[in-house]
Amino acid sequence: MTMKLTTDPSAATLLPIAKKEGVSTVWDRHRAMQPQCGFGQLGVCCRICWKGPCRIDPFGDGPQRGICGADADTIVARNVIRMIAAGAAGHSEHGRHVALALQGVAEGRLPAYQIRDEAKLRAVAAKLDICTEGQDIPAIAAAVAKATLEDFQNQDHDAPCNWIEASLTKKRLERLQALHVLPHNIDAVITQIMGRTLVGCDADPVNLILGGIKGALADFDGMCLATELSDALFGTPSPVITAANLGVIKPDAVNIAVHGHNPLLSEVVCEVAGQMDEEARKAGAKDGINIVGICCTGNEVMVRHGIPLAANYLSQELALITGAVDAMVVDVQCIMPSVSEIGACFHTAVITTMAENKIPGATHVDFKEETALESARRIVATAIDAYKRRDPRRVNIPDFKQTAIVGFGVESVVGALATLNAEDPLQPLIENIANGNIRGIALFAGCNSTQVAQDSSFVTMAKKLAANNVLMLATGCGAGSFAKHGLMTQEATLEYAGDSLKAVLTAIGTSAGLNGPLPLVLHMGSCVDNSRAVQVAVAVADKLGVDLDQLPLVASAPEAMSEKAVAIGTWSVALGIPTHLGTMPQVTGSAKVTELLTQTAKDLLGGYFLVELDPNLAADKLLEVIEERRKGLGI
Ligand code: NFS
Ligand code: SF4
């Protein structure tokens, strides 16, 4: 294997140390896994029942049907929509926790939480058409929680989920309704996917994929509510200057890495760490407690509080190999099971917190919203304890960190634009798109994957799109890539943006008081915060009286790997957005499913998947798509 593994500069320091310490990393295991199974890669392996596993011969010589008679189209479609169901389950379970926490706060049951952003709560209530006149904050919170939980309970198939109805253009809702893909109940839709993909059920690939699209839209619903209710509880992001990459770990502090996804855990850990700082100093850490983020939890606390980001997905193990992380606290999703073993090689306490997400070898501190403060205190105390066992001779913190200006929620984007036109904040954006100063907008999302040299596709594509005057938004591990590589800085705008984009970013940034341009890529938050980008797009589309599939808007997940990314990509397509994938989706064993997702979708929904593994060509293709959309609008 001569492929470059990662472009993250920290790895150059830490991979040799991993080798010396005898610690295997994700890249070692990737190498050991070669060659990977071709049937799996094509999506034609079926393990849905115990007559199998069955696999379809892609060359046409061997079996063309599984033992039950399912062909490649059925098998591929079933496999991919099960991925969507899993992704939607992850996001909406996260959303359900937040909604239940909001309900608990409204009822005064959860001392660890409060409504930190009342204005946001009121805005959410208005969005959901909840009358707030004369109501106090707990009553509004209760009503918002109730309307949200209906999205998990409604049994009327003809009544779409509340959040999706409140979050899309009218035209898009009509189009999705006509295809019968609007979800009425998140849980029911996910259950239906599991049920229809059982042995001997739905075998029609088109019908299956439509069911998958409905599941993906349930995923979108879950994300919208997770994002907006988290803002009400923890604050709406606004621009903040912070830093990213492993250099944010401090040698003289108790370093606690918060990792996973749900802000319900990390917010309380951050708060309690502030209260226990003195204890850390007493234990000898002269810089007190230093919280750093990993993956989407990292993004959540980064955009809300400016907590520095240590790592995105592929470098989570490297954080431990620095030998200076005293505790890694995790909740759900994207946590490599290898972390407990690596933690044990050092002094690091790897702490799991969710009853349904444990890792052998890790310490488990059960985290419940009702007793969140106590659990957080136990977690921080465990970190301080571990710090005392740290071996300074084994500490290797790479000297890499980049400044990152982050925290661009819808409100702060609109707020920045309002400094140019208070009456009509979207006008400056629309004007600059119409006159071509901004050619289009690209949303970068999704993961890292060992199929791609870490971060390289994100960075290559962003530089090219920037030079061609495309405005860029980012979330998730994509945002982490850009932050680590210095593309969320004003300097990056000056260096990489095309002239007209640079002028627009400078005008907005200067008038918003940033003393210079906006950063080259705007960090909108975690993966669930992809809903923020949709909100901006919907506002623009509504103002122009068009639908989302007419806007010069594209999405890209150049290093996707998670089932959650499959769900997000699919709703992005369903909303009418051309969506690039830079890793090979496991569907190409069925020509029919591939055609459905990359071509037929375009007629049905306006959006479609565009697969291109070469980041340079991918950027070119997205630029072409943007120009085609501009032409359609006559601009
Ligand atoms: Ni999204 Fe976030 Fe990262 Fe991918 Fe995982 S952390 S929810 S799934 S790997 S972007
Ligand atoms: Fe094989 Fe059919 Fe069972 Fe799948 S469902 S494993 S194709 S027999």
Instruction: Express as a percent the part of the chain with pLDDT over 90.
Output: 99
Do 123 and 105 share a domain, yes or no? yes
Q: In this structure, are strands 402-406 and 240-244 parallel, antiparallel, or unpaired?
A: antiparallel
What's the CA-to-centroid distance between 274 and ligand 1, angstroms?
Answer: 27
Distance from the alpha carbon of residue 19 to the mean position of ligand 1, in angstroms: 26
User: Nearest-5° angle of CA 176, CA 179, CA 185?
Assistant: 65
Residue numbers of the domain that contains 228: 72-234
Q: What is the average pLDDT across 433-454?
A: 98
- Select from 51, 55, 57, 65 the residue to mutate for testing ligand 2; criterion: most ligand atoms less than 8 Å from CB: 51
* CA 334 to ligand 1: nearest atom: 5
Please tell me whether residues 281 and 389 are part of one structural domain. Answer: yes
Residue 411 and residue 302 in one domain: no
Q: How many domains does the chain have?
A: 3
The CA distance from 148 to 161, in Å, is 9
Ligand 1 atom nearest 446 alpha carbon: 10
CA of residue 116 to ligand 2 center, whole Å: 51
Which ligand number lies closest to the CA of residue 56? 2
- Same domain? For 436 and 558 the reply is yes
Report yes or no on 390 lying in a domain.
yes
Percent above pLDDT 70 for the chain: 100
* Average confidence (pLDDT) over 198-216: 98
Does any ligand 2 atom lie closer than 6 A to the CB of residue 80? no
In tens, the pLDDT along 565-616 reads 999 999 999 999 999 999 999 999 999 999 999 999 999 999 999 999 999 9
Q: If you measure from the C-alpha of residue 219 to the centroid of ligand 2, how many angstroms do you get, rounded to a whole number?
A: 27
**Tell me: the pLDDT tens digits for 484-502?**
999 999 999 999 999 999 9
Which amino acid would we find at residue 166? A
Tell me, yes or no, whether 197 lies in a domain: yes
Side-chain-facing half-sphere of 6: CA atoms under 13 Å = 26
- Among 374, 418, 154, CA closest to 276: 374
Ligand nearest to the CA of 46: 2
Note the pLDDT of residue 1: 36
Ligand 1 atom closest to the Cα of residue 565 is 8
Residue 86 lies in a domain: yes
Q: 574 with 428, same domain?
A: yes
Q: Over the stretch 311-333, which tens digit does the pLDDT of each residue have?
A: 999 999 999 999 999 999 999 99
Q: Is residue 60 part of a domain?
A: no
- What ligand 1 atom has the least distance to the C-alpha of 528? 7
Q: Pick from 261, 454, 527 the residue to mutate for probing ligand 1's pocket: most ligand atoms within 8 Å of its CB.
A: 527
Q: Does the CB atom of residue 68 touch ligand 2 within 6 A?
A: yes
Identify the helix (H) or strand (E) that includes residue 106.
helix 72-106
Whether residues 361 and 467 share a domain: the answer is no
- The answer on pLDDT for 2 being more than 50 is no
Q: Which atom of ligand 2 is nearest to the CA of 69?
A: 2
Q: What is the mean pLDDT of residues 166-170?
A: 98
Last residue in a domain, options 372, 394, 416: 394
- How many angstroms separate the alpha carbon of residue 73 from the centre of ligand 2? 13
Q: For ligand 2, say whether the CB of 49 is within 6 Å of any of its atoms.
A: yes
Domain end (from 375, 394, 413) = 394
CATH, residue 270: 3.40.50.2030
pLDDT at 307 over 90: yes
* pLDDT at residue 455 greater than cutoff 70: yes
| Residue that terminates a domain, selected from 212, 234, 256 | 234
CATH code of the domain in which 204 resides: 1.20.1270.30
166 and 288 together in one domain: no
CA of 189 to the centre of ligand 2 (A): 23
Asked whether residue 151 falls in the same domain as residue 175, the answer is yes
The pLDDT of residue 3 is above 70? no
The C-alpha R_g of the chain, in whole angstroms, comes to 24
If you measure from the C-alpha of residue 131 to the centroid of ligand 1, how many angstroms do you get, rounded to a whole number? 36
Based on the fold, state whether residues 388 and 495 are members of the same structural domain.
no
> In which element (H, E) is residue 119 found?
helix 118-127
Ligand number nearest CA of 476 is 1
The answer to whether the CB of 70 is under 6 A from ligand 2 is yes
**Distance in angstroms (rounded) separating the CA atoms of residues 120 and 439:** 31
Residue 35 belongs to a domain: no
Q: Does residue 144 lie in a domain region?
A: yes
Kindly state whether residue 50 falls inside one of the protein's structural domains: no
452, 596: one domain: yes
Say yes or no to pLDDT of 64 above 50. Answer: yes
* Whether the predicted pLDDT of 260 surpasses 90: yes
Tell whether 374 and 329 lie within a shared domain. Answer: yes
Global ipTM? 0.94
Supply the mean pLDDT for the chain: 97
Among residues 201, 167, 194, 210, the alpha carbon closest in space to that of 89 is found at: 194
Shared domain check, 373 and 521: no
The tokens for 283 are: 């234990």
Ligand nearest to the CA of 201: 2
Q: Is residue 548 part of a domain?
A: yes
Nearest Cα residue to 507 out of 617, 417, 634, 440: 417
Residue nearest to atom 2 of ligand 1 (CA): 296
Which of 93, 223, 296, 559 has the most ligand 1 atoms within 8 A of CB, as the residue to mutate? 296
Q: Distance between CA 150 and CA 155 in Å, rounded?
A: 9
